[in-house]
């Protein structure tokens, strides 16, 4: 990661221990993510990759070290510096899709109801859900719900997006469509995206470089650049260097499962 | 509407069969002061309509309404307090649960001694019977609020009150309606018990007076009225629930 460019997110020897555990699941971890990049964090389940997100979005407080977003440390009441999107879409079933999408604006305050509705409608239109603002969440399909959740994440207004396995509950065809759609969104909006997945193929297809969790406790992230340019389509996955990369990552993760 | 009738048809047929059986049994026995037949009860209800509907039904409904209102305020306040503070929960929860082992009906005569024959002794019985299910059920509803949704809102920088409004109250609303649907019939029973023990008016009092006159049908007539009132009230609550809770069962 080039230090010359602006850093969107930086961990400075961060440690964290869950109260119920005997060891630090994250142990002196340092890494930085440059602005405008797209990284996937891959690792086996339970390796602690979601903990990295929960530390960044402030749901957990680190034991030691500093976390900087856009060069400034988090905490101290700093709000909406990152957009967090969990695996489940978590659309509130008692609100319309539009009201759900407007939730970050509503919580930030200082906007009128009409203003929020307009911005929610615009955000929905942007993710290809024009005219869905008045519907209830259960009227949308799985892929549409994830897009609505993404629109909601966008309305946090932050440049750093943390997506935690957002497509893992979708069926295969919907998932690959959503991957292409997400790349398109990323290129248009110039956001910094960190994307957790355990699907190696998904990681290779999406990332500019993959950040692999090689062992638990997490002391470092192994950065593996992906040899393909954007815009991409799925045919690039068949290229020999891409399949090699995929197999290499699978080997790396399997070693950890056995170990 | 048509479909709803179809769904209830087996229950209606069964109920009708039971009433027929009762009618046949009561007619065969011919002791109306012990077991009046359904038709005798209906006839008596019609004969007594003036005092029942103008004096005793309003008296009981007043007690029920006041008791239920106090229970709602008390129960909701208790649920909110227990949800917002761990100390309050540990202080109150066990006490509230244990208080339910006290047989309210057995100590109700004391309330008559304390508060007299007016409505307040009856209101107290009603409150003691109904506030518990409201407090505990609503508390459970607030607890059941989706943790992940709460966390998501926290990442947006939501404060406590915003989380309560956006997630906790909507999550607890179905629980609240379940509690009210339980509490409504219980409050009617509570009011009737209170009146039975000592009152100057009310359906429970009226039923007891008929008992002393060995008027079997007269005992049953106000009871039929009581159940009808309770059913009607539950129906109204259910209708309100359908208007306000559109998402029950989802998520």
d(CA B8, CA A252): 62
Note whether A61 contacts B: Cβ–Cβ < 8 A. Answer: no
Q: Give the nearest partner residue to B154 out of A59, A136, A138, using CB atoms.
A: A59
Amino acid B249: pLDDT: 52
Cross-chain Cβ contact A94/B149 below 8 Å: no
d(CA B79, CA B64): 21
- Give A167→chain B minimum CA distance, Å: 17
B146 chain-A contacts, CB cut-off 8 A: 90
Amino acid A5: pLDDT: 62
Amino acid A180: pLDDT: 93
Instruction: Tell me which H or E stretch contains A91.
Output: none
Residue in chain B lying closest to A156 (CA): B156
Could you report the predicted ipTM of this complex, rounded to two decimals?
Answer: 0.88
Amino acid A1: pLDDT: 44
Residue length, chain B? 251
Q: Are strands A209-213 and A221-225 parallel, antiparallel or unpaired?
A: antiparallel
A88 chain-B contacts, CB cut-off 8 A: 148
Which portions of chain B are predicted below pLDDT 50? 250-251
d(CA B219, CA B211): 6
Supply A176's token pair.
């690959």
Cross-chain Cβ contact A107/B155 below 8 Å: no
Q: What is the 3-state secondary structure (H, E, C) of chain B?
A: CHHHHHHHHHHHHHHHHHHHHHHHHHHHHCCCCCCCCHHHHHHHHHHCHHHHHHHHHHHHHHHHHHHHHHHHHHHHHHHHHHHHCHHHHHHHHHHHHHHCCCCHHHHHHHHHHHHCCCHHHHHHHHHHHHHHHHHHHHHHHHHCCCHHHHHHHHHCCCCHHHHHHHHHHHHHHHHHHHHHHHHHHHHHHHHHHHHHHCCCCCHHHHHHHHHHCCCHHHHHHHHHHHHHHHHHHHHHHHHHHHHHCCCCCCC
What does the DSSP 8-state code read for residue A236? G
Q: Give the nearest partner residue to A94 out of B151, B158, B170, using CB atoms.
A: B170
Determine the Cα angle at B196 with ends B193 and B199, to 5°: 115
In the numeric block, the tokens 């009618």 are attached to B23
Amino acid A3: pLDDT: 46
Asked if B242 and B232 touch (Cβ cutoff 8 Å), the reply is no
Residue A68, CA distances (Å) to A9, A73, A96, A100, B14 in order: 6, 4, 35, 29, 71
Which portions of chain A are predicted below pLDDT 70? 1-5, 258-259
Q: Give the nearest partner residue to A107 out of B149, B158, B245, using CB atoms.
A: B158
Amino acid A38: pLDDT: 95
Cross-chain Cβ contact A136/B246 below 8 Å: yes
B156 chain-A contacts, CB cut-off 8 A: 79-80, 103-104, 107-108, 156
Q: What is the 3-state secondary structure (H, E, C) of A155-206?
A: CCCCCEEEEECCCCCCCHHHHHHHHHHHHHHHHHHCCEEEEEECCHHHHHHH
Residue length, chain A? 259
Residue B190, Cα to own-chain centre: how many angstroms? 8
Residue B62 β-bridge partners: none
Q: Give the nearest partner residue to B170 out of A58, A92, A104, using CB atoms.
A: A92
Cross-chain Cβ contact B155/A57 below 8 Å: yes
- Give B55→chain A minimum CA distance, Å: 43
Residue A26 β-bridge partners: A16, A218
Interface test with A, best of B145, B156, B175 (most A CBs within 10 A): B156
- Give B235→chain A minimum CA distance, Å: 23
Note whether A108 contacts B: Cβ–Cβ < 8 A. Answer: yes
Amino acid B251: pLDDT: 41
Asked if B211 and B219 touch (Cβ cutoff 8 Å), the reply is yes
Amino acid B15: pLDDT: 92
């Amino acid at each position: 990661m080039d230090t010359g460019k602006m850093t969107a997110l930086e961990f400075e020897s961060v440690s964290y221990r869950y109260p119920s555990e005997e060891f630090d699941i994250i142990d002196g971890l340092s890494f930085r993510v440059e602005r405008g990049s797209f990284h996937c964090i891959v690792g086996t389940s339970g390796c602690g990759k979601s903990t990295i997100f929960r530390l960044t979005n402030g749901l957990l407080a680190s034991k030691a070290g500093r976390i900087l977003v856009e060069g400034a440390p988090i905490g101290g009441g700093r709000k909406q510096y990152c957009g967090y999107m969990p695996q489940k879409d978590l659309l509130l079933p008692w609100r319309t899709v539009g009201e759900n999408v407007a939730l970050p604006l509503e919580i930030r305050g200082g906007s009128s109801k009409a203003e929020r509705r307009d911005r929610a409608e615009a955000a929905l239109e942007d993710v290809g859900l024009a005219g869905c603002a008045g519907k209830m969440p259960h009227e949308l399909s799985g892929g549409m719900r994830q897009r609505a959740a993404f629109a909601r994440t966008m309305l946090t207004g932050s440049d750093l997006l943390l997506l935690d396995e957002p497509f893992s509950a979708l069926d295969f065809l919907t998932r690959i469509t959503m991957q292409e759609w997400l790349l398109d969104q990323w290129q248009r909006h110039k956001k910094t995206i960190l994307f957790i997945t355990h699907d190696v193929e998904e990681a290779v297809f999406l990332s500019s470089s993959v950040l692999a969790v090689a062992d638990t406790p997490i002391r470092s992230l192994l950065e593996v650049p992906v040899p393909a340019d954007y815009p991409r389509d799925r045919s690039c996955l068949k290229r020999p260097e891409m399949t090699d990369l995929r197999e290499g990552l699978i080997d790396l993760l399997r070693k950890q499962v056995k170990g | 509407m048509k479909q709803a009738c179809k769904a209830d048809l087996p229950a209606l047929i069964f109920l009708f069969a039971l009433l027929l059986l009762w009618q046949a049994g009561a007619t065969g026995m011919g002791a109306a002061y012990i077991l009046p037949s359904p038709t005798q009860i209906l006839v008596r209800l019609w004969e007594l309509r003036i005092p029942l509907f103008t004096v005793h039904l309003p008296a009981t409904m007043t007690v029920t309404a006041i008791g239920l209102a106090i229970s709602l305020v008390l129960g909701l306040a208790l649920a909110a307090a227990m949800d917002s503070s761990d100390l309050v929960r540990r202080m109150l929860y066990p006490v509230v649960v244990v208080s339910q082992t006290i047989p309210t009906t057995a100590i109700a005569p004391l309330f008559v001694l304390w508060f007299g024959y007016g409505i307040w002794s009856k209101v107290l019985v009603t409150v003691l019977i109904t506030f518990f299910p409201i407090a505990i059920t609503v508390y459970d509803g607030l607890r059941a609020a989706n943790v992940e949704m709460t966390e998501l809102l926290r990442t947006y920088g939501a404060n406590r009150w915003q989380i309560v409004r956006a997630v906790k109250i909507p999550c607890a609303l179905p629980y609240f309606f379940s509690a009210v649907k339980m509490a409504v019939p219980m409050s009617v029973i509570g009011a009737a018990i209170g009146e039975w023990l000592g009152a100057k008016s009310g359906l429970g009092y009226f039923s007891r007076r008929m008992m002393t006159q060995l008027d079997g049908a007269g005992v049953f007539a106000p009871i039929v009225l009581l159940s009808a009132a309770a059913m009607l009230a539950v129906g109204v609550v259910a209708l309100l629930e359908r208007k306000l809770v559109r998402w029950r069962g989802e998520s």
